[in-house]
Chain A
């Protein structure tokens, strides 16, 4: 990546005050920062950070009614996922993955979801390892205002985001409260903010340039063919250096950032309409938070451990999953199916909110990767085989999408592990005992 003369002038300005010591530098908006038309801030070329969302719902889908019937490119979803049709090419569906217990008891509505989030099948009295969003935010969340955001569409503070050692990140249950937190009086417009270069990167870059200085001496030692290879090495080294240089510069302005309208108060309860509304409002706020660089990680619960009710129905969702027999004429539980459609619809609402904010030639959804999971593969039996999981969004081109991948009983951890590797975390393996994996699902890694 070549730097333009406009950028060079900014760097010179920076170097003069830095002296290898971290300092806050206020950069005035000089003329050279604008693009040729003077209509927008010229980008430095640094790509905005990818975003990660975990979206956990409860009680799964009716087996046989969600995954596409074919493997590979998705042409049609199962009946309970029809709401996701507009996003078909952005979704990866994973079927046949399970949580492996290794003789631990099946903690109902618990083992499945915690295994896919922490890599470890939970046991009573044993603290959970950090959840995947904690690992992701240690890379993506260190320089944002919020390391991560947790929300619960059921209205409670229950959260599935844990830091390890028993520390749980509590969730917001009310959209108004989340609005206040994100866009209330403490919100600062990122396009006017001051910038601090990361001191560690300054040192890293300095070390790399010392290695680069070896070039002349080493090149003289080798023959022609090998000289080309060494040249390639040093070119790659230079690119790495340039990547670090860009990180030392003020990040690109965020033209997609806009402050959303304040949402209204929502009634309490877990009626399906109330749940959908809460989820929609949370999704919109999170999309704006991403666009404004307030955070890069969000954890959303839809109806995990919250039992939705339909007007006029005697039972709630959870009860139906256990009580309703499988209708032998159609092969599934029809009342349960009605609730499952709501879950798919809510997911579609979240994807819509993320997709509605345009960024360059893509959208916030394109810059994100959404890990969708649930607690069971078959709610009636608390079965934790074939747990529905999706990865949605290409994470800024880091993932291929639109595929259906099936596994022969591999652990659910492979999906989370793939998400982490795709996002560039240095992770060689994840999970414990039979859930331990070192094999990402390479078909979806770009």
Chain B
């Protein structure tokens, strides 16, 4: 008769184990879990990093592309000064259809980037980039790590993007497009990171486990995830990965390469897919670990992040869609296709910032019956 929840979703502490220690890691004395609060390309910025200048801003880029599409200077000026007409459908379509098929008919440069010649976007020529020596060869990569001093750092993705205005920044700044999408995305299932070890406040070996949650989380007034929330783990094995590393003097390093796959959000990245992964995290403040994660990622998937919103990207973010296609393809440095020899992955490093969270397994008695195929 009374309002009573015990007949509803009762979850005792026994079922909702705070951590899933049995999931592929050794029994460890303690585990701390986190949600990924920020994730974006790790950019750098220094004198002389773009000696040929930056890529043109959107105003100029639109002018160039419309000219490429055959518009007169007058029409271009009109389109750009008429207020709302700046974004008029006809100028967008013109930008899109600036490519040509082999027979000369118009083609969409956004859907078939090779229908325009390579515009040779400006790329980074400076010395420094955040990242890791992913292949263990100091003569590849060509960057020096500004924090650790490591040489042979492989980060071709940054090399390709670092001279676009929105990417030409470094911490505390963040690349514009990626962070705005990360901030927008309030529906994305969160990414979870757990760190296990005998005593995490001391130097020692650790295990780092990556998982996907089933759902998104609550954010506070600043847009950060509220600390100490509970997230229900996805038990889909595709999204569960383990890496072994070490904490020394407050820095956690995973040198032994790992693989990672995490589903993201259409507007950000369809998937984060890394091989030869490495991780470097500052864990001096366990309430806000932060650092970088690197690896080889499929360049075409990354390019899709821009391509799917091509019109806004070219007109507002000044990122040239075919230009990035050609450059990513050229800079790609791993996993050659057995038939064509074209590298399918590109080296990259990403900024990662964590907020404490609690993880729970889905209690089968509670959720829908269709979950019965999942193991307890």
Direct A–B contact in complex, judged by CB atoms less than 8 Å apart:
yes
**Are B180 and A381 within 8 A (Cβ)?**
yes
- Kindly list chain B residues whose C-beta atoms are within 8 Å of the C-beta of A378: 183, 223
- Kindly list chain B residues whose C-beta atoms are within 8 Å of the C-beta of A409: 219-222, 226
- Kindly list chain B residues whose C-beta atoms are within 8 Å of the C-beta of A306: 83
Binds B, one of A73-81, A126-134, A206-214, A325-333: A325-333
Q: Is B171 an interface residue (CB 8 A)?
A: yes
Instruction: Give complex CA distance A429, B179 in Å.
Output: 35
- Kindly list chain A residues whose C-beta atoms are within 8 Å of the C-beta of B221: 96-98, 385-386, 406-410
- Kindly list chain B residues whose C-beta atoms are within 8 Å of the C-beta of A331: 172
Q: Is B176 an interface residue (CB 8 A)?
A: yes
> Known contacts A103-B216, A380-B180, A383-B183; is A323 also within 8 Å of B223 by CB?
no
Per-residue CB proximity of A356-392 to B under 8 Å, as 1/0?
0000000000000000000001101111011000000
Give min CB distance, A119 to chain B, whole Å: 18
Instruction: Give complex CA distance A40, B83 in Å.
Output: 51
Instruction: Give complex CA distance A348, B362 in Å.
Output: 55
Across the interface, B169 reaches (CB within 8 A) one of A101, A319, A328, namely A328
Q: Is B126 an interface residue (CB 8 A)?
A: no
- Kindly list chain A residues whose C-beta atoms are within 8 Å of the C-beta of B137: none
Q: Is A108 an interface residue (CB 8 A)?
A: yes
**Are B173 and A328 within 8 A (Cβ)?**
yes
- Kindly list chain A residues whose C-beta atoms are within 8 Å of the C-beta of B59: 314-315, 319
**Are A307 and B83 within 8 A (Cβ)?**
yes
Q: Is B186 an interface residue (CB 8 A)?
A: yes
- Kindly list chain B residues whose C-beta atoms are within 8 Å of the C-beta of A314: 57, 59-60
Per-residue CB proximity of A305-343 to B under 8 Å, as 1/0?
011000000110011001111111001000000000000
**Are B171 and A328 within 8 A (Cβ)?**
yes
Instruction: Give complex CA distance A408, B226 in Å.
Output: 10
Nearest neighbor of A326 in chain B, beta-carbon distance: B173
Give min CB distance, A99 to chain B, whole Å: 10
- Kindly list chain A residues whose C-beta atoms are within 8 Å of the C-beta of B175: 325
Tally A residues with Cβ within 8 Å of B: 39
**Are A326 and B169 within 8 A (Cβ)?**
yes
**Are A325 and B186 within 8 A (Cβ)?**
no
Per-residue CB proximity of A98-121 to B under 8 Å, as 1/0?
100101111010000000000000
- Kindly list chain B residues whose C-beta atoms are within 8 Å of the C-beta of A104: 186
- Kindly list chain B residues whose C-beta atoms are within 8 Å of the C-beta of A421: none
Q: Is A413 an interface residue (CB 8 A)?
A: no
Q: Is B174 an interface residue (CB 8 A)?
A: yes
Give min CB distance, B291 to chain A, whole Å: 18
List residues of B (159-217) whose CB comes within 8 Å of A's CBs. 165-177, 179-180, 182-187, 216
**Are A382 and B180 within 8 A (Cβ)?**
yes
Instruction: Give complex CA distance A326, B166 in Å.
Output: 9
**Are B179 and A325 within 8 A (Cβ)?**
no
**Are A319 and B186 within 8 A (Cβ)?**
no
Across the interface, B168 reaches (CB within 8 A) one of A98, A103, A325, A385, namely A325
Which B residues contact A (CB, under 8 angstroms)? 45, 57-60, 83-84, 86, 165-177, 179-180, 182-187, 216, 219-223, 226, 316-318
Which A residues contact B (CB, under 8 angstroms)? 96-98, 101, 103-106, 108, 156, 269-270, 306-307, 314-315, 318-319, 322-328, 331, 377-378, 380-383, 385-386, 406-410
Known pairs A103-B216, A269-B83 / 11 extra A-B pairs, C-beta < 8 Å: A98-B219, A98-B223, A103-B187, A106-B185, A108-B184, A322-B180, A325-B175, A380-B180, A386-B223, A409-B220, A410-B221
> Can you offer 5 A-B residue contacts whose CB atoms are under 8 A?
A106-B184, A315-B58, A328-B172, A381-B183, A382-B184
